[in-house]
Amino acid sequence: MNEPTHFDLLAIGGGFAGLCTAVRGAELGMRTAVLEAGADESYRCSSRWAGGIFHVSYHDVKLSPDELVAAINRQTSGETDQELAAAIAADAGPTVDWLASRGAVFTQASPAGWHRFTLAPPRLPVAGQDWQGRGPDRLLGELRRRLDERQGRLFLGTRAASLRLRRGQVVGINAHKDGKVLEMCADAVAIADGGFPGNAELFSKYIGPRPDRVLMRHAGTAIGDGLRMAIDAGAAYVGLDRFYGHLLSRDAMENEGLWPYPQIDAVATAAIVVDQRCCRILDEGLGGISITNDLARLDDPLCATVICDAPIWEGAGKAALIPPNPQLLAGGGALHRSDTLEALAEAAGLPPENLAATVAEYNDAVRFNRLTTLLPERSARSGAPQRIETPPFFAIPICAGITNTMGGIAIDGHGRVKRPDGSAITGLYAAGGSTGGLEGGGALGYVGGLIKACVFGLRVAEHAAGQLHRCLK
């Protein structure tokens, strides 16, 4: 039987952004399909591997739109596209309700407000991969089932290669499947390919010189196809140098059991991060995402070690849902420990006298409130700094892990792809990790990958359906 090749709305990518687009579009009466490059039924994507926490800038998605806009602005220091922020704030609550009515099961993963909507079952609090059968994996299955019920299509093993354009308008996609070229027509195309965290060339161009020395903390399937296609069609892009990511044990570069968790962020933020000479190299107080970005831009992103003491290891070390204390050791990661800083430096292969001097200078700055005189300066955005003075002392060799790109294709509040002059490219939309403008402002403010994917997936479908029905009238 010949496959249909004409659709009202085609989504590129079968993560949450693409599936929300296609399911909602089908519910609104459109003939929709998803092209998914992965051939396997459990095709890899960040959506499947996610921790499953739906939040808006670390706030409960059910707060009022005004509160959520304020939270986004605080997180991004106001350097966010206000139209996109307003869209997220208005739709975050209704979007989790829509997901719940389409098979999502939510649980409160911890007493923290921003953990209220975590997909169930949540992953176990253990180091390493644990996505099979967890909430995000199940929800992808539920959305797919609903797509089938509405006669929407999911084409596995089908990689979109280029957009089909007629007189500046997008009218379909050329895709590759089993070595053949498929020509598919559509009134609207939604790019939902997850961005470009897995594209080493784009990483080198926009983020840092050594992608080979940065941990790829993602499914490896978002490789920038959508960005390339959108730019070829005349799209604008924004903030490509910013990414969302976390600090991990340096051993995660070799040891699968140490990523995507435990993250070392909370410990690093409470402590100091030094290079091989034991010099502090960045502002730890700006938080884990900022530290991760700073490391990834260095000539050698693998040069860094976190130095902390017992109160930090017993406090911040145990604070996360999947805490490095004790999951770092459980996963097989290096943790050096000693009663003196000199012995700690020796164990970690660092110059002993330099470490003692760096810690002494830091402790003095904390004691006498001179943090702004340190080089680099130490801010207190992520919590008040504390002295590193109570043995045992700990050293954790770390690496930077990229989870997803924060920048990407420029869109408006409906997910329409914009040209550099601000006009929309007819027939072209983008959603989720492929888009930019919302996140990455200030100290690399994060809004939330899951809520962004689902809110804009739904918005794209609503707008495309409105356009189609207007044409049919």
Site residues (CB under 6 A) for ligand FAD? 12-18, 35-38, 43, 45-47, 49-53, 159-160, 192-194, 217-218, 221-222, 225, 260, 403-404, 432-433, 448-451, 453
Q: Which is nearer to ligand FAD, 119 or 348 (CB)?
A: 119
**Shortest gap between Cβ of 438 and ligand FAD (angstroms)?**
11
Paired with 148 in beta bridges are none
Least separation in angstroms between residue 38's CB and ligand FAD is: 5
- Of 52 and 323, which has the nearer Cβ to ligand FAD? 52
d(CA 422, CA 262): 41
For residue 38, the SS3 value is: coil
Nearer of residues 288 and 385 to ligand FAD, judged by Cβ = 288
Q: Whose Cβ is closer to ligand FAD: residue 119's or residue 267's?
A: 119
Closer residue to ligand FAD (CB): 251 or 283: 251
> What does the alpha-carbon distance between residue 147 and residue 143 come to, in Å, rounded to a whole number?
6
Of 353, 357, 317, 352, the closest CA to residue 335 belongs to: 317
- Least Å from the CB of residue 69 to ligand FAD: 18
Instruction: Return phi, psi of residue 232, to 5°.
Output: -60, -30
Q: Which is nearer to ligand FAD, 138 or 280 (CB)?
A: 138
In angstroms, rounded to a whole number, what is the distance separating the alpha carbons of residues 341 and 333?
Answer: 20
Whole-number minimum distance, CB 161 to ligand FAD, in Å? 7
User: Min. distance of Cβ 363 from ligand FAD in angstroms?
Assistant: 35
Identify the CA nearest to 265 among candidates 237, 251, 239, 285.
285
* 241 vs 346, beta carbon nearer ligand FAD: 241
Question: Would you say 290 or 435 has its CB closer to ligand FAD?
Answer: 435
Q: Which residues pair with 188 in a beta bridge?
A: 9
**Distance between CA atoms of residues 289 and 310, nearest Å:** 24
| Euclidean distance between CA atoms 43 and 221, whole angstroms | 9
For ligand FAD, the nearest residue by Cβ is 449
193 or 284, CB closer to ligand FAD?
193
For 314-376, give the secondary structure using H, E and C: HCHHHCCCCCHHHHHHHCCCCCEEECCHHHHHHHHCCCHHHHHHHHHHHHHHHHCCCHHHCCC
Q: How many CB atoms lie within 10 A of CB 253?
A: 18
CB of 12 to ligand FAD, least distance (A): 5
- Tell me the C-alpha distance between 191 and 322, whole Å: 33
- Min dist CB 358 to ligand FAD, Å, is 32
386-391: which pairs have CB atoms within 8 A and are 24 or more residues apart? 386/270, 386/311, 386/312, 387/362, 387/363, 388/271, 388/272, 388/307, 388/308, 388/309, 388/312, 388/359, 388/362, 388/363, 389/309, 389/363, 390/309, 390/310, 390/311, 391/309, 391/310, 391/338, 391/339, 391/340
Across the strands, what pairs with 244? 404
Q: Smallest distance, Å, CB 342 to ligand FAD?
A: 37
Nearest approach, Cβ of 290 to ligand FAD (angstroms)?
18
Q: Which is nearer to ligand FAD, 312 or 410 (CB)?
A: 410
Confirm if 188 and 18 have CB atoms less than 8 A apart.
no
Find the shortest distance in angstroms from Cβ 391 to ligand FAD: 34
Q: Are 20 and 142 in contact (CB under 8 A)?
A: no
Task: Give the ranges where 207-351 is alpha helix by DSSP (H).
Answer: 225-232, 265-270, 288-296, 310-314, 324-330, 341-348
Measured from the CB atom, the residue of 139 and 304 that comes closer to ligand FAD is: 139
Shortest distance, position 66 Cβ to ligand FAD, whole Å: 21
